[in-house]
Structure 1
Amino acid sequence: MGIADWLMIFAVLFGPIIAVQLTRYLDRIKEIRERKLNIFKTLMATRAYNVSWAHVEALNRIDLEFDHNNKKEKAVIAAWKEYLDLLSNSSISSEQWSIRRVDLMVELLYKMANVLDYDFDKTHIKNSFYSPIAHGATEEEQAALRRGLLEVLEGTRQIPISFSNIKSSEK
């Protein structure tokens, strides 16, 4: 048997195994990228609603999905840590905190965009979103209703009741 015969036997025996392993490897890479994309897309879609459940969940998944050993992804994790540090900081004024929060969120999203090969500049990330005024008003109203209901249930607020248009039953 010549070398060509041995190569043919090797290809017939190991070709399918190599093909399956290569397919599995490529699927794993695709799945990892999809998970990172999901985080990025969620954060971009909810950047105007930073207290939404989806937004918070996506932030908390950054440490799980981005690789600490990859140089570009390490920058994402560093930006996330800086943002997280601000989120738990109550020592600065609320106005300064809000401005800094937006800047750090933009920086985080910008670094994620770079890792995921999206061509967004920071101005686009900061200013290009749609957030209806009605959504903000609805959130404020729901928060006020929850606070009021809790006060009633805790006994610190009473429900005012008044009667009108009551006919007297005098005879």
Structure 2
Amino acid sequence: MQFLSTIEVKDWLMISATILGPILAVQAQKAIERWRSRREAKLRIFYVLMANRATQLAPEHVHALNQIDLEFLPAPFWLAPWQYNKDKAVTSAWALYSQTLNKDTTNITEAEFVSWRDRCNDLFYDLLHKISLNLGFHFDRAQLSKGAYHPTGHWHRERLQNMVLEGAAKVLWGEQELKMAVTALPEAPEAAPHLARPTRTKPERDKA
């Protein structure tokens, strides 16, 4: 005890730094790695949404949307106040967009469907713009919505595929009949003797 009483404050600080220094360094390195991993996950979501913003029915697009709540989950305000508002803006925009996407459009008119589709597009580009701001990009919202490229041939192919699938579904569900056009009927053998299959006669036995 007498030895401890002789240790000065600066000595205690030196001992504490020697003990806690490596521990704090390891924890700081882990925090940096977690932040970097989370940012890479956010970037992957942003890149996929940007690449498929003209084809919003693509599976990759849907998967990226469903990962937003996981990767942009806001940290507690007291822990990361500088990032809380940015993450909260993204998750709030996604909540509004997903709510609109999940609206039942089965029994709505064509005008209501067009209005719903336009509303979904507006909310999607709002979400994409907030993600870009979260990651430090400075895209203009008009640039995000007008800069997408979707070849006309792809659009026609997707439209034809949807028409074929819808038609097949109606036939399978009994909502539409399968139309058939008969161009010729097979003739009966009696009506066309020359089409009848010739019969073979057994060879005669040799007489004894």
TM over 0.5, shorter chain: yes
Letter matched to residue 99 of structure 1: D
Match of 2:180 in 1: 160
Match of 2:134 in 1: 115
Distance 2:130 2:170 in 1: 43
Distance 1:153 1:88 in 2: 26
Match of 2:57 in 1: 51
Distance 1:135 1:81 in 2: 30
* Structure 2 residues without counterparts, runs of 5 or longer: 1-6, 77-83, 195-208
Query: Secondary structure at the residue paired with 2:138?
Result: coil
Q: Name segments (4+ residues, structure 1) moved above 4 Å.
A: 1-4, 13-19, 151-156, 161-164, 166-170
Is contact 1:66–1:76 with CA below 8 Å preserved after alignment?
yes
Q: Which structure has more RCO (C-alpha within 8 Å, separation ≥ 6)?
A: 1
> Is 1:76–2:96 an aligned residue pair?
no
Distance 2:85 2:94 in 1: 15
Larger Rg, first or second structure (1 or 2): 2
Distance 2:27 2:114 in 1: 54
Instruction: Give the TM-score normalised by structure 1.
Output: 0.79
Deviations 1:31-64 (A, max 9, x none): 0001111111111111111111111111111111
Task: Give the count of matched residue pairs.
Answer: 169
Cα RMSD for the two superposed structures: 3.1
Distance 1:56 1:170 in 2: 65
Of 110, 135, 158, which residue of structure 2 is paired with 1:139? 158
Deviations 1:108-161 (A, max 9, x none): 111111100011010001100110111111112222232344445556543636
Query: Secondary structure at the residue paired with 2:29?
Result: helix
Tell me how far 1:99 sits from its aligned partner: 1.6
Structure 2 vs 1, CA of residues 29 and 107 (structure 1 numbering), >3 Å: closer, same or farther? same
Q: How does 1:1-171 map to 2 (within 5 A)?
A: 7=14, 11=18, 17-68=23-74, 69=76, 70-89=84-103, 90=105, 93-154=112-173, 156-158=176-178, 160=180, 162=182, 170-171=193-194
Tell me how far 1:14 sits from its aligned partner: 6.3
Tell me how far 1:26 sits from its aligned partner: 1.4
Distance 2:137 2:39 in 1: 13
Query: Secondary structure at the residue paired with 1:22?
Result: helix
Report percent identity of matched pairs: 33
